[in-house]
Amino acid sequence: MTVYITYSRAIGVLFLCISCFYLYFGHQIQLDFWSEGEVFNARSMPYLIGVSGILVAIGLIFTPTKASATDAPHEWQELKQLNWIPTIAFALIIGLYGLSLEYLGFIVCSSLFLFCSSAILGERRWLIMAVLSIGVVSAFALLINWLGIYLAPGDLWMGWLDV
């Protein structure tokens, strides 16, 4: 018996919708007049992520599946055994990251995000977590600066500097 609606296909449809919205909103990013003709600009990564998400979703939707009548309860049991608390925690810190990025700035906000992510994943060596999160974000910020991309320091720091 061929089953047309499975959990992976339902998730694929949801992921397709999210990826399409992401691609749409990525297209809404305003570009400066001097960066419109460049190969890599502010829209490049959202385009890449959106198209990749659409391809993965199409793969999930159109992957052939065969199931018997006993597979539905088995899939439900697997779904109940997933680690939902870390997943919800990641969703919360991703939302907080997006909300606080403009206020705290890239370096502080991304360092806090990586620190909290490693804590959610179970790392308990706080000094290593702090050094790695600050080091990785600082190296990435230096790379972005070397490429000539301006990152605003954040409203918190701009308020202190009275700029």
Say whether both 51 and 104 belong to one domain.
no
Taking CA 109 as the corner, what is the angle to CA 106 and CA 115, rounded to the nearest 5 degrees? 130
For position 80, what pLDDT does the model report? 74
End-to-end CA distance of the chain: 68
Judge residue 57's burial from the number of C-beta atoms within 10 Å of its C-beta, 0-12 exposed, 13-18 middle, 19 or more buried.
buried
Say whether both 87 and 103 belong to one domain.
yes
- Which of 81, 112, 143 marks a domain boundary? 81
- Which of 81, 110, 129 marks a domain boundary? 81
Q: How far apart are CA 95 and CA 113, in angstroms?
A: 10
pTM score: 0.60
Judge residue 156's burial from the number of C-beta atoms within 10 Å of its C-beta, 0-12 exposed, 13-18 middle, 19 or more buried.
middle
Low-confidence ranges of the chain (pLDDT < 50): none
Say whether both 108 and 122 belong to one domain.
yes
26 close to 50: Cβ distance less than 8 angstroms: yes
How many separate domains does the chain show?
Answer: 2
Provide the residue range defining the domain that includes 102: 83-163
Say whether both 38 and 108 belong to one domain.
no
Tell me: the pLDDT tens digits for 56-78? 999 988 887 765 555 556 666 77
- Which of 81, 107, 130 marks a domain boundary? 81
